[in-house]
């Protein structure tokens, strides 16, 4: 069950009604049942892994809390981390590891097909951080297993985040969540805004991008360049729309998820980009990997090494393929170079454009199926000819109407985001009366219905980050 | 309290306006068809209880039976309520749909699809032509359930905007007139095919043998028979001129027997094609369809037989 499906909206409505008609003390149980149902709807077998990860980290939390010895606490945290990372490695990376061993040792080891449980990369990180937070004294232990299970499996965030911080999420499961019209209407508005970004923009871009990346040898120059730039936008609209929907859904039930995006393409440096892009993941790697490695409170070259390690791991976290590792490595290189040399222009807009170009270049590796494909894109995208430019643009598989829809939609979102950047316009939307909110929602729904990419024959509806 | 009531009323009004706008939008975007078959929206526009004879079936029906000629000669207001290659189960739900608005004296069922049909489901285009413009009702839900095999595809029939939303790229005057000015194709469902010079060669393999109908066809043929009996409507089964092989002729004979067993008038213009005085060089559009001249001859004979 994915967010942009009819089934999900039926599920959401049923859960919403049940949640608010029963007594407050039973609402967590409703959410837990709903979350497990949501998670099982794709593959019930995945529930075993989710339960395993939940139980391991829950018990670990209790043990860390119970033990007074710092050494013992450390050992428990280490064992838990090894067990959970091991689980993630087994499910997500076994095939990749065996494949590379075979290449290096010229062997022919095989492994049975392992189905990667959806969202494992996200909920495992959440589970790893919990005992560490208790160890650090950032959060109190949660003894109620139902509440803890809900923290790991909360359906708006289980598949693709935002990765919840225990100190921010766990207290919310102990609070009452009365029916709050403002929260609910804001939540619905954010969900619809997310759907607009996903269905009208990201999925329409996906048609052209998938066509180009699926038939790379047929493209050179302008179409390749368009696909490369468009992918930067697609992945932003796709993933931020998912985060919007997750955020809005949680808000409908009275919960606040942490922010995942903060206008990333307005960043003036790659370092700043990472403080604005997939913020819950960046924060996680900072708190649970970069800082323990020593962060930047160490010698210059050790600090560079730490950055390299964090971004290589981050690349690998995104997917079991060399393309992701190279992507992570490029981002590490950017940041090391930014620290080594002053690469800033005096003009902020030039810095924003520079950062966008650098990030877009790295996305080529992220999107390509193989390193060779990425090299093909890089070596051919500047092979530009302006002859028959109109035909070249249309050859990516989008017609003139699609391009107009994309242009108008992207500019509209850009204007909204600039206004948010300068005048915090989101707050004005949140404080609107119910009727203006309703009108905005209806207009967005109509635009999405007409101009969205969906329906029979359309197959781009998966969210990109569901694959990680 | 007054303020709250006012707010609720405004919300209700906004929701009603949105629903109306959604309905118009669906009509604006839905594919209007290729000009073959009756325009369902036009059928809905007919004044209630004014049609005396409804013709059901596939293209063999709407190209052969001329409602204007029937009406002028018999005073029976007639309507061809058919779509191309319409399978018998859709025909049954068309009959139910028609009976919501009309109480005809006669139902004429053209039997071609009962003879040739040998699948449980028709092609998507056939379903779309028949179902897309039907009003939303339990009858529409039933016809979708029985006509669309893939459950996931059914949602795009319940809400056809899912299928047609991208037609905003190809909207034309007809789409706009249909959605906002109530335009419909006012032809009583009849399609007059032009002369093509097609030379008909009657290769029917005549036989007295009988062969079972395809299971789903037989089930719905009986449903049609039983519904017309229940509603006290005279059912007439017609087979328009075409060329059938041995198996098809055997099935036609089986339909004839079913008609006899149920006291239904069966007008077989394959075994009796010579009665029509058709010119094989001029009166056919193709092997299964009469052109305008052929349909006039056919309709005249039909009226004669009816009397």
pLDDT digits (tens, 9 = 90+) for A207-258: 999 999 999 999 999 999 999 999 999 999 999 999 999 999 999 999 999 9
Please determine, for residue A428, whether its predicted confidence score (pLDDT) is greater than 90: no
Are B96 and B140 in contact by the 8 Å Cβ rule? The answer is: no
Residues of B in contact with A442 (CB under 8 A): 14, 18
Are A246 and A157 in contact by the 8 Å Cβ rule? The answer is: yes
Residue A308 covered by a domain: no
Domain boundary among A179, A197, A214: A179
User: Tell me: the pLDDT tens digits for A78-116?
Assistant: 999 999 999 999 999 998 999 899 998 888 888 888 888
| Contact yes or no for A456 and B18 at CB 8 A | no
Which residue in the set B7, B10, B165 is minimally distant from A452, CB to CB? Answer: B165
Please determine, for residue B6, whether its predicted confidence score (pLDDT) is greater than 60: yes
Residues A135 and A191 in one domain: no
Please determine, for residue A3, whether its predicted confidence score (pLDDT) is greater than 90: no
* Tokens (6 digits) for A201: 């923009």
Domain boundary among A132, A151, A179: A179
Residues A35 and A153 in one domain: yes
d(CA A397, CA B160): 25
| Contact yes or no for B25 and A442 at CB 8 A | no
Residue B166 covered by a domain: no
* Tokens (6 digits) for A312: 């290589």
Residue reference for tokens 């699948």 = B119
Are B38 and B62 in contact by the 8 Å Cβ rule? The answer is: yes
Q: Nearest to residue B18, comparing CAs of A241, A314, A435, A55?
A: A435
Q: With an 8 Å Cβ cutoff, is B163 touching chain A?
A: yes
Q: Nearest to residue A327, comparing CAs of A380, A364, A278?
A: A364
Residue B24 covered by a domain: no
| Contact yes or no for A455 and B7 at CB 8 A | no
Kindly provide the ipTM of the predicted complex, given to two decimals: 0.84
User: Tell me: the pLDDT tens digits for B174-212?
Assistant: 999 999 999 999 999 999 998 888 999 888 999 999 999
Residues A44 and A152 in one domain: yes
User: Which A residues 305-324 touch B at CB under 8 Å?
Assistant: none
d(CA A331, CA A363): 10
d(CA A370, CA A365): 8
In Å, how far from its chain's centre is CA B191?
12
Q: Which residue of A has its CA nearest to B167?
A: A450
Buried b or exposed e, range A116-155, using 16+ CB within 10 angstroms: bbbbbbbbbbbbbbbbbbbbeeebebbeeeebbbbbbbbb
Q: With an 8 Å Cβ cutoff, is B160 touching chain A?
A: no
pLDDT at B207: 93
B1 pLDDT band (50/70/90 cuts)? low
| Contact yes or no for B153 and A456 at CB 8 A | yes
d(CA B307, CA B295): 18
Q: Which residue of B has its CA nearest to A405?
A: B169
CATH of the domain at B118: 3.40.50.1110
Compare B80 and A433 and report the one with higher pLDDT. Answer: B80
Are A125 and A163 in contact by the 8 Å Cβ rule? The answer is: yes
Please determine, for residue A466, whether its predicted confidence score (pLDDT) is greater than 80: no
* Tokens (6 digits) for A159: 């598949």
Residue A240 covered by a domain: yes
Residue A415 covered by a domain: yes
Which residues of A are designated catalytic? 318
* Tokens (6 digits) for A432: 């609107």
User: Tell me: the pLDDT tens digits for A298-338?
Assistant: 888 999 999 999 999 999 999 999 999 999 999 999 999 99
Q: With an 8 Å Cβ cutoff, is B23 touching chain A?
A: no
Please determine, for residue A30, whether its predicted confidence score (pLDDT) is greater than 70: yes
| Contact yes or no for A455 and B162 at CB 8 A | yes
Residue reference for tokens 């794709």 = A42
* Tokens (6 digits) for B172: 């034309």
| Contact yes or no for B163 and A455 at CB 8 A | yes
d(CA A153, CA A123): 7
* Tokens (6 digits) for A153: 């499996």
Q: With an 8 Å Cβ cutoff, is A399 touching chain B?
A: yes
d(CA A120, CA A86): 12
Percent above pLDDT 70 for chain A: 97
B85 pLDDT band (50/70/90 cuts)? very high
Ramachandran assignment for A313, one of left (phi > 0), alpha (psi -120 to 50 degrees), beta (any other): alpha
Are A155 and A38 in contact by the 8 Å Cβ rule? The answer is: yes
d(CA B188, CA B174): 18
Type and span of the H or E element at B81: strand B78-82
The DSSP secondary-structure symbol of A113 reads P
Q: How many domains does chain A have?
A: 2
Residues A26 and A98 in one domain: yes
Q: With an 8 Å Cβ cutoff, is B20 touching chain A?
A: no
Q: Nearest to residue B219, comparing CAs of B51, B87, B62?
A: B87
Residue A255 covered by a domain: yes
Q: With an 8 Å Cβ cutoff, is B29 touching chain A?
A: yes
A1 pLDDT band (50/70/90 cuts)? confident
The DSSP secondary-structure symbol of B109 reads E
Are A362 and A323 in contact by the 8 Å Cβ rule? The answer is: no
Please determine, for residue A460, whether its predicted confidence score (pLDDT) is greater than 60: no
Residues A117 and A257 in one domain: no
d(CA B93, CA B91): 5
Residue A317 covered by a domain: no
Concatenated DSSP letters for A355-380?
HHHHHHHHHHHHHSSSHHHHHHHHHH
Handedness of CA A174, A177, A183, A188 (dihedral sign): positive
d(CA A219, CA A32): 48
| Contact yes or no for A454 and B10 at CB 8 A | no
- For residue B113, give its domain range: 35-153+185-306
Percent above pLDDT 70 for chain B: 99
Are A362 and A330 in contact by the 8 Å Cβ rule? The answer is: yes
Please state, rounded to an integer, the average pLDDT across all residues of chain A.
92
d(CA A416, CA A407): 14
* Tokens (6 digits) for A89: 């490695």
Average pLDDT over residues A253-269: 93
User: Tell me: the pLDDT tens digits for B228-246?
Assistant: 999 999 999 999 999 999 9
Domain boundary among A179, A206, A224: A179
| Contact yes or no for A446 and B21 at CB 8 A | yes
The number of helices, as runs of H, and strands, as runs of E, in chain A is: 23, 0
pLDDT at A467: 56
Q: Nearest to residue B92, comparing CAs of B237, B266, B217?
A: B217
Concatenated DSSP letters for B39-91?
-HHHHHHSPTT--SEEEEESHHHHTT--HHHHHHHH---EEEEE-TT--HHHH
d(CA B290, CA B63): 6
B96 pLDDT band (50/70/90 cuts)? very high
Q: With an 8 Å Cβ cutoff, is B161 touching chain A?
A: yes
* Tokens (6 digits) for B160: 């056809």
Q: What is the dihedral of CA A414, A415, A421, A424, to 10 degrees?
A: -130
Residue B5 covered by a domain: no
Average pLDDT over residues A373-400: 94
Best of A1, A4, A449 to disrupt the B interface by mutation (most B CBs within 10 Å)? Answer: A449
Residue A83 covered by a domain: yes
* Tokens (6 digits) for B253: 């004979």
Residues A72 and A208 in one domain: no
d(CA B73, CA B55): 17
Residue A46 covered by a domain: yes
**Beta strand B78-82 pairing with B106-110:** unpaired
Q: With an 8 Å Cβ cutoff, is A103 touching chain B?
A: no
The vertex-A263 CA angle with A261 and A265, nearest 5°, equals 115
- What 3-state DSSP class applies to B80? strand
Q: How far apart are the CA of A89 and the nearest CA of chain B, in angstroms?
A: 35
Residue A320 covered by a domain: no
Residue B296 covered by a domain: yes
pLDDT at B306: 85
- For residue A123, give its domain range: 6-179
d(CA A257, CA A280): 10
Q: How many domains does chain B have?
A: 1
Count the neighbouring beta carbons within 10 Å of the beta carbon of residue A423: 10
Contacts of A19 (CB under 8 A, 6+ apart): A27, A30, A31, A34, A253
- What 3-state DSSP class applies to A159? coil
């Amino acid at each position: 069950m994915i967010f942009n499906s009819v089934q999900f909206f039926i599920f959401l409505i049923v859960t919403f009604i049940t949640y608010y008609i029963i007594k407050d003390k039973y609402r967590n149980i409703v959410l837990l049942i709903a979350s497990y149902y949501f998670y099982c709807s794709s593959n019930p077998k995945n529930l075993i892994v989710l339960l395993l990860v939940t139980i391991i980290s829950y018990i670990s939390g209790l043990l860390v809390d119970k033990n007074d010895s710092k050494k013992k606490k450390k050992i428990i945290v280490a064992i838990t981390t090894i067990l959970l990372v091991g689980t993630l490695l087994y499910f997500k990376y076994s095939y990749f590891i065996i494949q590379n061993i075979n290449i290096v040792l010229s062997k022919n080891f095989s492994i049975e097909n392992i189905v990667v449980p959806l969202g494992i990369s996200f909920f495992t990180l959440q589970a790893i951080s919990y005992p560490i937070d208790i160890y650090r004294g950032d959060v109190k232990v949660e003894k109620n297993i139902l509440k803890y299970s809900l923290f790991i499996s909360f359906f708006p965030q289980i598949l693709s985040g935002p990765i919840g911080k225990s100190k921010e999420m766990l207290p919310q499961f102990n609070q009452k969540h009365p029916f709050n019209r403002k929260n609910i209407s804001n939540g619905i508005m954010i969900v619809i805004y997310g759907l607009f970004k996903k269905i009208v923009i990201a999925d329409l871009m996906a048609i052209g991008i998938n066509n180009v990346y699926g038939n790379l040898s047929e493209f050179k120059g302008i179409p390749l360049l368009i696909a490369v730039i468009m992918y930067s936008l697609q992945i932003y609209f796709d993933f931020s729309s998912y985060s919007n929907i997750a955020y809005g859904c949680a808000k409908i039930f009275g919960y606040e998820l942490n922010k995942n995006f903060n206008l990333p393409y307005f960043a003036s440096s790659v370092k700043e980009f990472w403080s604005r892009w997939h913020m819950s993941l960046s924060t996680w790697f900072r708190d649970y990997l970069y800082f323990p490695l020593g962060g930047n409170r160490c010698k210059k070259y050790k600090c560079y090494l730490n950055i390299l390690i964090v971004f290589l791991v981050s690349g690998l976290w995104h997917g079991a393929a060399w393309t992701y590792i190279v992507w992570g490595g490029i981002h590490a290189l950017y940041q090391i170079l930014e620290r080594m040399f002053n690469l800033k222009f005096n003009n902020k807009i030039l810095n924003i454009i520079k950062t966008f170009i650098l990030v877009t270049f790295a996305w080529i590796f992220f999107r390509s199926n193989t390193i060779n494909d990425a090299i093909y894109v890089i070596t051919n995208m500047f092979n530009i000819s302006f002859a028959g430019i109109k035909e070249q643009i249309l050859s990516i598989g989008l017609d003139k109407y699609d391009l107009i829809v994309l242009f108008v939609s992207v500019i509209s979102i850009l204007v909204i985001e600039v206004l948010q950047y300068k005048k915090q316009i989101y707050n004005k939307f949140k404080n609107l009366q119910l009727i203006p909110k309703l009108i905005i929602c209806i207009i967005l729904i109509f635009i999405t219905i007409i101009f969205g990419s969906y329906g029979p024959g359309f197959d781009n509806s998966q969210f990109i980050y569901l694959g990680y | 309290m007054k303020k709250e009531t006012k707010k609720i009323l405004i919300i209700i009004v906004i929701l009603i306006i949105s629903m109306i706008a959604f309905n118009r939008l669906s009509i604006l975007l839905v594919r209007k068809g290729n000009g073959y078959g009756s325009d369902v929206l036009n059928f809905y526009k007919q004044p209630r209880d004014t049609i005396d004879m409804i013709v059901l079936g596939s293209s063999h029906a709407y190209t052969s039976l001329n409602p204007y000629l029937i009406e002028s000669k018999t005073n029976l207001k007639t309507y061809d309520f058919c779509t191309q290659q319409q399978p018998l189960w859709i025909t049954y739900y068309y009959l139910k749909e028609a009976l919501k608005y009309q109480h005809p004296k006669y139902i004429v069922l053209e039997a071609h699809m009962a003879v040739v049909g040998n699948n449980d489901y028709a092609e998507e285009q056939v379903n779309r032509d028949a179902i897309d413009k039907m009003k939303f009702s339990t009858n529409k839900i039933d016809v979708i359930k029985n006509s669309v095999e893939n459950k996931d595809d059914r949602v795009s029939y319940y809400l056809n905007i899912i299928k047609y939303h991208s037609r905003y790229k190809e909207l034309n005057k007809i789409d706009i007139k249909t959605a906002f000015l109530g335009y419909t194709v006012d032809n009583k469902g009849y399609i007059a095919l032009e002369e093509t010079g097609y030379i008909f060669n009657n290769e029917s393999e005549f036989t007295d043998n009988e062969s079972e109908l395809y299971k789903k066809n037989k089930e719905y043929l009986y449903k049609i028979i039983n519904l017309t009996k229940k509603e006290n409507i005279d059912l007439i089964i017609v087979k328009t001129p075409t060329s059938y092989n041995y198996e098809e002729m055997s099935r036609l004979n089986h339909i004839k027997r079913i008609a006899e067993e149920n006291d239904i008038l069966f007008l077989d213009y394959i075994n009796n094609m010579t009665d029509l005085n058709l010119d094989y060089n001029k009166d056919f559009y193709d092997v299964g369809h009469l052109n305008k001249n052929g349909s006039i001859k056919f309709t005249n004979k039909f009226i004669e037989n009816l009397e």
